[in-house]
Amino acid sequence: MESSVSRPAGRVVIATRRSRLALWQADHVKQKLEALYPGLEVALLALSTQGDELLEARLDKVGGKGLFVKELESALSEGRADIAVHSMKDVPAQLPAGFELAAILAREDPRDALVSVRYASLESMPAGGVLGTSSLRRAAQVVERFPRLRIETLRGNVETRLAKLDRGDYDAILLAAAGLQRLGLETRIRRLLEPAESLPAAGQGALGIECLTRREDIVGLVAPLADGDTAACVRAERAVSLALGGNCAVPLGAYARVRRGRVQLQAVVAAPDGRRVARAEDEGEASDPEALGERVASRLRARGAEDILAALQAGD
């Protein structure tokens, strides 16, 4: 049966980071576009971003998640690329004017994963055991449950982080399960952490396609790749982040699921030392996920998130 989707002619260029995971993600979108539009030429433009280059500093101290997307957005503005492919957890809660997320693809595993040579779980790690992570969100939720563990900053691409673990710099590390699975490294996972143990980052496990708002041709081109349920969930999660400041200096977890046509959203804000934690949840219509996210953010504030955020700002 002939597809009802119009088949464009020409060439589409995808801007992507240079890491193996980012290239896999961009190639994944490339293959989907080529399958959808036979004859369309799709090329990758691999770029190095500041986020990839500043590996020693903590991300929230050197500019936040925007460091991973700025060079890709420049390529879109300058006409060197038509779309950019991102892991949604790396996309700032608010895009610059003139840009939009044209499609959010079906989500893969949203969970955090424990990777360790020596230990099968966080529970089995001894007092003083060193856990590596670049995420304030992961660190705060771990130390709330396991204050005996020592958290150390871990930056770099997936392979670099695994190499640091394997040479003994850390007893265990936490990574996004989806990234390990996409790279064929799922055998390195010792344990998947359920959302009740470690609430994921907003958008974790989902890929997004960004383009210029004025490129209506591109918006229409990638629209068939979008997954409605995932988009509703990610939009709700991102609305929580935006309402609470929208940056990676906030130890924020937000995770939504669609159940019986409604979006169920959970969120957490935790002090870096894990001693103060605010949690909230609610559900709402999939047609207005931003309103749901804003309601949950309000509940978080009412339950102590405002004090946690104020203390974080005072400590900067």
- The count of structural domains within the chain is 3
Is-above-0.85 flag for pTM? yes
Residue 231 lies in a domain: no
Kindly give, in sequence order, each residue whose CB lies less than 8 Å from that of residue 91, ignoring residues fewer than 6 positions away: 65, 69, 101, 203, 208, 210, 238
CATH code, 169: 3.40.190.10
- Give the pLDDT confidence of 253-303 residue by residue, as tens digits: 999 999 999 999 999 999 988 889 999 999 999 999 999 999 999 999 999
The answer on 118 and 97 residing in a single domain is no
Q: What is the DSSP string of 58-98?
A: -GGGTTGGGGGTHHHHHHHHTTS-SEEEEEGGGS-SSPPTT
- Give the pLDDT confidence of 25-38 residue by residue, as tens digits: 999 999 999 999 99
Which pLDDT belongs to residue 315? 67
Q: Are 172 and 122 in contact (CB under 8 A)?
A: yes
**What distance in Å separates the CA atoms of residue 87 and residue 97, rounded to the nearest whole number?**
20
The answer on 118 and 98 residing in a single domain is no
The answer on 77 and 29 residing in a single domain is yes
Domain final residue, candidates 168, 193, 218: 193
Secondary structure element (H or E) that encloses residue 235, with its range: helix 228-243
Distance in angstroms between the alpha carbons of the first and the last residue of the chain: 60
The answer on 146 and 290 residing in a single domain is no
> In angstroms, how far is CA 262 from the centroid of its own chain?
22
- Where in the sequence numbering do the catalytic residues fall? 90
**What distance in Å separates the CA atoms of residue 306 and residue 300, rounded to the nearest whole number?**
8
For 7, counting Cβ atoms within 10 Å of its Cβ (0-12 exposed, 13-18 middle, 19+ buried), the class is exposed
- Give the pLDDT confidence of 152-206 residue by residue, as tens digits: 999 899 999 999 999 999 999 999 999 999 999 999 999 999 999 999 999 999 9
Residue 1 lies in a domain: no
Question: Torsions phi, psi of 308, nearest 5?
Answer: -65, -45
The answer on 211 and 69 residing in a single domain is yes
Domain region containing 267: 241-315
